[in-house]
């Protein structure tokens, strides 16, 4: 009975929807929100999560046709099941986030010295150059949603006036892991996502990127003047209560290494003053509610304890799992199909469903064997199962290719389709390979990539031996 009463008090599910206005639109956000709500409930009684409603699908609604670029169906919170298809009943709350994209790219901010060294890079958010970055990053452990929840909670505590001396909230996040796993890209994508999700609260967002390695290797001898000037600019931005600022400090381990070297006497004492100045500035930023500090590190062992203590969360970002590798490669192929580089006879299985087809019980089926007993329920007999396997031949082969990419970073994975076309297809410019041909070429590209990396390792051994 107690369990039943708890279930009855469960809040209604909340579906997050993002509606992008055209650059020339002058529509009010609240008007756009009402039209999007009405459109979805009338024309989309059931929606598929993580899909996009393009402009040509809005043609029947004049307001949306004239003002909207696209509608993105995002995640749902509080749903009773984990299905990607959701019915928009009266119990579902639509949280619609209306925004406009800024067309400008990131702008370098240089120092005042005569050499004009780049100190930081500034983005005005939400930016078209960062659109789609959030969905292109695929992790198996809901890292993105955890980061969103972290920001929402920090804002809630700030709004309620929670004493930071009693409940520590620093608004500093640390993402660490091997190179090429998407840490910096995830920070940029999070800043973009927050500018969209907080559009009702803040007029715009700002992303300030700081490369700590280039900063401190150049300015040790200048007593932290550049650090102070840079954070003075950030504080000036934060004085505007209509802006939400994300500060990204990339490669923070280089700063930590400099601090340790200075304390051991390997660097001048001025170096430690620079690092301490930065730590002091981070402590001062915690008083501001409209700021989030994101830091990344490739070398976990080099992270200074002073930084770890200041980070609210320490999130490890590891190499992509098998399913994530499949999803990354599939997203690349879908992009090439949409641009006419690949002929598409059939669609690839979604990464959220691929493991149904590739479970250990079905491994023989995927390779042409006879064990078909555990294929999806729609396959009523062995003949249906074999037909289904043939229909999804490209997906099953791509799953195998993803398996051979064990240890590859996301950065390397996204190069494989290009290398496959460049070195293994050998087709004329006007010829369009099939999806199956392209996946086979990607398999060859993976083999070559492993061989090339092996040769680099051997070359390094020879040099060291010499």
pLDDT of residue 301 exceeding 90, the answer is no
The answer to whether residues 388 and 435 belong to one domain is: yes
Question: Are 94 and 185 a contacting pair, CB within 8 Å?
Answer: no
- Is residue 3 situated within a structural domain? no
pLDDT of residue 304 exceeding 80, the answer is no
- Is residue 461 situated within a structural domain? no
The 8-class DSSP code of residue 422 comes to I
- Is residue 402 situated within a structural domain? yes
Mean pLDDT of 98-110: 84
- Written as six digits, the tokens of 194 are 């927050």
Residue 12's SS3 state is: coil
- Is residue 466 situated within a structural domain? no
Give pTM, 2 decimals. 0.85
| pLDDT tens profile 382-430 | 444 455 556 688 999 999 999 999 999 999 999 999 999 999 997 666 6
Query: Where among 283, 316, 349 does a domain terminate?
Result: 316
The answer to whether residues 357 and 309 belong to one domain is: no
The answer to whether residues 307 and 345 belong to one domain is: no
Q: What is the CATH number of the domain that holds 228?
A: 3.40.50.300
Q: What CA–CA distances, in Å, run from 266 to 214, 269, 272, 335, 396?
A: 19, 9, 11, 50, 55
The answer to whether residues 74 and 114 belong to one domain is: no
The answer to whether residues 241 and 116 belong to one domain is: yes
Looking at residue 370, its pLDDT comes to 37
- Is residue 91 situated within a structural domain? yes
Residue reference for tokens 């209604």: 12
The answer to whether residues 265 and 142 belong to one domain is: yes
- Number of folded domains that form the chain: 3
- Is residue 464 situated within a structural domain? no
How far apart are the C-alpha atoms of 263 and 268, rounded to whole Å?
Answer: 9
Query: What is the number of residues in the chain?
Result: 466
Mean pLDDT of 122-133: 95
Residue reference for tokens 């004492």: 269
pLDDT of residue 5 exceeding 70, the answer is no
Looking at residue 271, its pLDDT comes to 63
pLDDT band at 19 (very low <50, low <70, confident <90, very high): very high
- Written as six digits, the tokens of 74 are 């995002």
| pLDDT tens profile 20-59 | 999 999 999 999 999 999 999 999 989 999 999 999 999 8
Tell me which of 130 and 140 has the higher pLDDT. Answer: 130
How far apart are the C-alpha atoms of 415 and 440, rounded to whole Å?
Answer: 15
φ, ψ dihedrals at 306, nearest 5°: -60, -35
Q: What is the CATH number of the domain that holds 21?
A: 3.10.330.10
Looking at residue 371, its pLDDT comes to 38
Q: What is the mean pLDDT of the chain?
A: 83
Tell me which of 334 and 461 has the higher pLDDT. Answer: 334
Looking at residue 398, its pLDDT comes to 96
The answer to whether residues 242 and 372 belong to one domain is: no
Query: Considering only CA atoms, which of 135, 145, 171, 166 is closest in space to residue 156?
Result: 171
pLDDT of residue 167 exceeding 70, the answer is yes
- DSSP sequence for 129-198: GGTTHHHH---TT-HHHHHHHHHHHHHHHHHTT--TTTS----EEEEE-STTSSHHHHHHHHHHHHHHHT
Looking at residue 389, its pLDDT comes to 56
pLDDT band at 294 (very low <50, low <70, confident <90, very high): very high
Tell me: cis bond preceding 126? Omega within 30 of 0 counts: yes
Mean pLDDT of 340-346: 81
Looking at residue 252, its pLDDT comes to 85
**Domain assignment of residue 406, given as a range:** 322-453
Question: Are 118 and 219 a contacting pair, CB within 8 Å?
Answer: no
pLDDT of residue 93 exceeding 90, the answer is yes
Number of Cβ atoms within 10 Å of the Cβ of 435? 23
Q: What CA–CA distances, in Å, run from 424 to 135, 341, 442, 451?
A: 29, 15, 8, 15
Looking at residue 379, its pLDDT comes to 46
Mean pLDDT of 348-375: 58
The answer to whether residues 382 and 415 belong to one domain is: yes
Question: Are 73 and 51 a contacting pair, CB within 8 Å?
Answer: yes
pLDDT band at 70 (very low <50, low <70, confident <90, very high): very high
The answer to whether residues 92 and 112 belong to one domain is: no
Question: Are 212 and 251 a contacting pair, CB within 8 Å?
Answer: yes
Tell me which of 347 and 135 has the higher pLDDT. Answer: 135
The answer to whether residues 161 and 191 belong to one domain is: yes
Among 161-170, 398-407, 414-423, 439-448, the minimum mean pLDDT is found in 161-170
| pLDDT tens profile 197-221 | 999 999 999 999 987 766 665 555 5
- Is residue 6 situated within a structural domain? no
pLDDT of residue 134 exceeding 60, the answer is yes
- DSSP sequence for 383-420: HHHHHHHHHTHHHHHHHHHHHHTTT--HHHHTTHHHHH
Greatest CA separation for the chain: 76
Looking at residue 251, its pLDDT comes to 87
Tell me which of 113 and 259 has the higher pLDDT. Answer: 259
The answer to whether residues 248 and 117 belong to one domain is: yes
- Is residue 124 situated within a structural domain? yes
Query: Where among 316, 351, 383 does a domain terminate?
Result: 316
The answer to whether residues 442 and 355 belong to one domain is: yes
CA angle 165, 171, 176 (to 5 degrees): 125
- Written as six digits, the tokens of 347 are 């669609």
Question: Facing residues of 108 across strands?
Answer: 121
Query: Where among 99, 116, 146 does a domain terminate?
Result: 99
């Amino acid at each position: 009975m107690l369990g039943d009463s708890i279930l009855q008090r469960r809040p209604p599910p909340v579906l997050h929807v993002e509606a992008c206005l055209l650059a020339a639109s002058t529509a009010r956000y609240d008007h756009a929100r009402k039209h999007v709500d009405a459109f979805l409930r009338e024309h989309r009684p059931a929606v598929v999560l993580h899909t996009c409603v393009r402009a040509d699908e809005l043609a029947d609604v004049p307001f949306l046709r004239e003002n909207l670029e696209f509608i993105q169906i995002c995640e749902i919170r509080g749903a009773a099941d984990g299905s990607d298809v959701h019915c928009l009943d009266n119990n579902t709350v639509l949280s619609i986030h209306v925004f406009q994209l800024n067309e400008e790219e990131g702008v370098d901010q240089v120092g005042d010295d005569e050499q004009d060294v780049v100190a930081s890079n500034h983005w005005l958010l939400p930016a078209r150059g960062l659109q789609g970055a959030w969905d292109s990053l695929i992790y198996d452990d809901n890292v993105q949603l955890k980061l969103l929840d972290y920001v929402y909670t920090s804002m809630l505590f700030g709004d309620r006036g929670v004493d930071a001396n009693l409940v520590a909230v620093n608004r500093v996040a640390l993402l660490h892991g091997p190179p090429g796993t998407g840490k910096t890209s995830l920070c940029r994508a999070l800043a973009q996502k927050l500018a969209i999700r907080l559009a009702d609260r803040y007029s715009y967002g700002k992303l300030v990127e700081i490369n700590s390695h280039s900063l401190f290797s150049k300015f040790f001898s200048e007593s932290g003047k550049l650090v102070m000037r840079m954070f003075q600019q950030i504080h000036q931005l934060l004085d505007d209560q209509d802006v939400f600022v994300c500060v990204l400090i990339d490669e923070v381990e280089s700063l930590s290494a400099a601090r340790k070297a200075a304390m051991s006497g390997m660097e001048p004492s001025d170096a430690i003053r620079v690092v301490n100045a930065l730590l002091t500035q981070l402590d001062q930023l915690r008083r501001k509610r409209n700021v989030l500090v994101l830091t990344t590190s490739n070398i976990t062992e080099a992270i200074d304890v002073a930084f770890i203590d200041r980070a609210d969360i320490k999130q490890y970002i590891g190499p992509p799992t098998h399913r994530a590798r499949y999803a990354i490669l599939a997203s690349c192929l879908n992009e090439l199909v949409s641009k006419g580089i690949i002929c598409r006879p059939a669609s690839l299985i979604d990464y959220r469903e691929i493991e149904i087809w590739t479970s250990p019980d079905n491994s023989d089926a995927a390779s042409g064997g006879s064990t078909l007993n555990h294929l999806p329920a729609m396959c009523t007999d062995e003949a249906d199962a074999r037909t289904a396997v043939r229909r999804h031949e490209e997906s099953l082969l791509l799953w195998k290719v993803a398996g051979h990419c064990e240890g590859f970073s996301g950065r390397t994975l996204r190069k494989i389709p290009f290398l496959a076309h460049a070195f293994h297809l050998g087709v004329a410019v006007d010829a369009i390979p099939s999806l199956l041909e392209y996946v086979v070429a990607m398999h060859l590209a993976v083999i070559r990539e492993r061989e090339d990396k092996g040769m680099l390792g051997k070359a390094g051994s020879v040099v060291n031996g010499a």
